[in-house]
Chain A
Amino acid sequence: MRIGEIVESTSTHFVAESLDLGRPPELGRLVKVHLAEDRDLCAVVCHGETGSLDPGRRAVRRSTEEVYDDQVYREHPQLEHVLRTQFTSLAVGVIDKEVVHQGLPSQPPPLHYSVHGCDEEETTRFTQDLYYFRLLLGVPVRIPVELVLAGHLRWVYRGRGHDEEWLQVAAREVAKLLKQDYERLATVLYAIERDT
């Protein structure tokens, strides 16, 4: 399922414009970019934002007493064309001929390539090994990375059919990685315990 198109690409992450205005993929979701036959780049969504397409035009208030929320879009149909939703994803590995290689890709994905959501089978295959947590925790992103990781754990847990066993292994892995930083660890554990 296509969910976006890459508009900015780097070695560590890429920014994609969402095909659905106002609905970027969930924080922590696993996505993929089809690079070649049997070769997909996998990435974790770490940020989403909706704003004006033109940096010189800021979004302004349009609601009234009678018109608000989704009605604003019905009353101003041009908004669908002058706003855009973007999301940023951190590259965490490649699935090459059904073999998972976790780590940064050797090259950034090409601009304008499509971003797809990973299905249950791909998610299960990629998340068998948890080495990629190191990548997630090591790359600077715009929101605290432990919140991205917590979102990812929640999403994978659901994506794997509420896999309690996987979640416990994942939580232990996070505890190992953040053993020197209790506050960040507590943030992750609290977030997954509350929601899962």
Chain B
Amino acid sequence: MPLKLDLLGQRITEMVQASAAEDRGRWVERARQLLDSVGPEQLRAKLEERVVRLPWLVGIPDGGVNGAFEVQECPSSFSVVAADGSYIAPDRHSPFRFYVLNTGYAVLTYGRQPSAVLDSSAQLYFQEQDLYLDPLVRSAPVEGARLSAKMCLAEMRALLEAAERVEGRPLVALRDGSLITWGLQTEDPAFVQERFLTEFLTYLERFDALGIPLVSYISYPGARDVVNSLRVWLCTQGDMDCARCPSADVEQFCRALREIRDRELFGFLQDGERSDVFGSKSAILNRYGLHRIHFFYMNVGGEVVRLEAPQWVTGDSQTLRLVQALIYDQARRSAIHPPYPPALQEAHEEAFISGSDRRLVQLLVERSLAERGFVYSGSAKSGSKRRRGV
């Protein structure tokens, strides 16, 4: 039955009114003024010397905080490699428990000899050790955050393998989404450490050894790390007890900052410019060792995006300039506005599993069963969704 939109209309209006406060622009402007007034050394010290654990993620400045760095010229020839993934999750209504990971990649080479390689690879997992983190007792099934982690590893593997086949340099490797695997923080440490992070860090090491900068691209980022750092800068208390804030003025500004995202704060960046680099304080990064993730923001021409990279990328000014130039060049070549890197778009297109392909996989499973004399008609619930008779 059609959704009763009349029941939602009023609530939508209320929701929009609540978030689009008229004085939001004024608070963003005040936040930028605060950013300009911050002493980076003092902020770094204040953030790192805190003994009380902060309730939010903060960004620790590597250098300055309010810089705007112009984009440099691109090399005459270069390549960009990108990978993405898509999966078919285990279906409770299927006769078998399995999942499919599909990875797609794109290698785009520009300059004297332009070329493109686009491809994908699919893998079906059905064995006990694939389906459960503890197959003996069938506990911790691979789904949700654990399946996303498996997908992340498959994408990294695809990205590395594609990058290894590229002979030309310079080359930058791009991923969509974050390199900070915070989704695993609540998972069993043994899994995180032994099964996921070990392999994940192996890929980062390999990129480092090959001298290929690895960067993740986050469009429309929701992060507030730098804004949160400003809240710490504002705070006059030692234990961040917001309920007992002694200053009404600070409290009001701090509350307003809570609603502002980093992408708005760095809205002052001009076309092609990037911000200063910040280090993330996410707890999972303590396990990253030499590959700790840092980030910066960049105006790619129509959008301020967040770029994350291991410290061996952001710590080298020449590499950082190259990354900025190539990301901006990708944005310039985008066919859509706001721009999105064509390499990532094509990798996504390669990885995408359509609804008809999903149904086809299920059909292949059922057909294979039928060839062995088993007729599976599906669960009554899934059948009721497929055959919606009246």
User: Which listed segment binds A: B86-94, B103-111, B230-238, B253-261?
Assistant: B103-111
Interface check B333, CB cutoff 8 A? yes
Q: Which of B118, B333, B336, B349 contacts A76 (CB 8 A)?
A: B333
Instruction: Let me know if A78 and B335 touch, CB within 8 A.
Output: no
Cβ contacts under 8 Å, B61 to chain A: none
Interface check B346, CB cutoff 8 A? yes
- In angstroms, how far is the closest chain B Cβ from the Cβ of A55? 11
**Which residues from 51 to 101 on chain A have a C-beta closer than 8 Å to any C-beta of chain B?**
54, 57, 60-62, 73-82
> Which residue on A lies nearest to B114, using beta carbons?
A77
Instruction: Let me know if B346 and A77 touch, CB within 8 A.
Output: no
> Which residue on B lies nearest to A75, using beta carbons?
B333
Instruction: Let me know if B335 and A77 touch, CB within 8 A.
Output: no
Known contacts A60-B335, A60-B336, A62-B335; is-contact A74 B114 (Cβ 8 Å):
yes
Cβ contacts under 8 Å, B42 to chain A: none
Q: Which of under 10, 10 to 19, 20 to 34, or 35 or more describes the interface residues of A?
A: 10 to 19
Q: Count chain A CB atoms within 10 A of each CB in B109, B110, B114, B346 and give the residue with the most.
A: B114
A60 to B339, CA, bound (A): 13
Instruction: Let me know if B335 and A80 touch, CB within 8 A.
Output: no
Interface check B54, CB cutoff 8 A? no
A61 to B336, CA, bound (A): 9
**Which residues from 110 to 128 on chain B have a C-beta closer than 8 Å to any C-beta of chain A?**
110, 114-116, 118
Interface check B342, CB cutoff 8 A? yes
Instruction: Let me know if B116 and A77 touch, CB within 8 A.
Output: yes
**A-contact 0/1 string along B138-161, CB 8 Å cutoff:** 000000000000000000000000
Known contacts A60-B335, A60-B336, A62-B335; is-contact A78 B346 (Cβ 8 Å):
yes
> Which residue on B lies nearest to A60, using beta carbons?
B335
A79 to B108, CA, bound (A): 10
Known contacts A60-B335, A62-B335, A75-B110; is-contact A80 B349 (Cβ 8 Å):
no
Instruction: Let me know if A78 and B336 touch, CB within 8 A.
Output: no
A-B contact count (CB 8 A): 34
Cβ contacts under 8 Å, B110 to chain A: 75, 77
Cβ contacts under 8 Å, A75 to chain B: 110, 114, 333
Instruction: Let me know if A57 and B349 touch, CB within 8 A.
Output: yes
Instruction: Let me know if A81 and B118 touch, CB within 8 A.
Output: yes
Cβ contacts under 8 Å, B109 to chain A: 77
Cβ contacts under 8 Å, B342 to chain A: 76, 78
Cβ contacts under 8 Å, B114 to chain A: 73-75, 77
**A-contact 0/1 string along B303-340, CB 8 Å cutoff:** 00000000000000000000000000000010110000
A114 to B342, CA, bound (A): 32
Cβ contacts under 8 Å, A76 to chain B: 333, 335, 342
- In angstroms, how far is the closest chain B Cβ from the Cβ of A73? 8
Cβ contacts under 8 Å, A60 to chain B: 335-336
- In angstroms, how far is the closest chain B Cβ from the Cβ of A140? 30
- In angstroms, how far is the closest chain A Cβ from the Cβ of B42? 46
Q: Count chain B CB atoms within 10 A of each CB in A62, A73, A80, A82 and give the residue with the most.
A: A82
Instruction: Let me know if A77 and B349 touch, CB within 8 A.
Output: no
Q: Count chain B CB atoms within 10 A of each CB in A54, A74, A77 and give the residue with the most.
A: A77
Instruction: Let me know if A82 and B346 touch, CB within 8 A.
Output: yes
> Which residue on A lies nearest to B111, using beta carbons?
A74
A161 to B116, CA, bound (A): 40
- In angstroms, how far is the closest chain A Cβ from the Cβ of B115? 5
**Which residues from 16 to 31 on chain A have a C-beta closer than 8 Å to any C-beta of chain B?**
none
Cβ contacts under 8 Å, A79 to chain B: 116
> Which residue on B lies nearest to A80, using beta carbons?
B116
A54 to B346, CA, bound (A): 12
A80 to B114, CA, bound (A): 11
Cβ contacts under 8 Å, A61 to chain B: 335
Cβ contacts under 8 Å, A81 to chain B: 116, 118, 346
- In angstroms, how far is the closest chain B Cβ from the Cβ of A84? 13
> Which residue on B lies nearest to A53, using beta carbons?
B349
Instruction: Let me know if A77 and B336 touch, CB within 8 A.
Output: no
A82 to B350, CA, bound (A): 10
Known contacts A76-B342, A77-B110, A77-B114; is-contact A82 B349 (Cβ 8 Å):
yes
A57 to B116, CA, bound (A): 18
A82 to B333, CA, bound (A): 15
Q: Count chain B CB atoms within 10 A of each CB in A60, A62, A76 and give the residue with the most.
A: A76
Q: Which of A62, A77, A82 contacts B115 (CB 8 A)?
A: A77
Q: Count chain B CB atoms within 10 A of each CB in A74, A75, A78 and give the residue with the most.
A: A78
Known contacts A75-B114, A78-B342; is-contact A54 B349 (Cβ 8 Å):
yes
> Which residue on B lies nearest to A79, using beta carbons?
B116
Cβ contacts under 8 Å, A54 to chain B: 349
A76 to B342, CA, bound (A): 8
B residues bordering A, Cβ < 8 Å?
106, 108-110, 114-116, 118, 333, 335-336, 342, 346, 349
Name the 10 nearest CB pairs between A and B, nearest first. A77-B116, A77-B114, A78-B116, A60-B335, A81-B118, A74-B114, A78-B346, A77-B115, A81-B116, A62-B335
* CB pairs A–B below 8 angstroms (27 shown): A54-B349, A60-B335, A60-B336, A62-B335, A73-B114, A74-B114, A75-B110, A75-B333, A76-B333, A76-B335, A76-B342, A77-B109, A77-B110, A77-B114, A77-B116, A78-B106, A78-B108, A78-B116, A78-B118, A78-B342, A78-B346, A79-B116, A81-B116, A81-B346, A82-B118, A82-B346, A82-B349
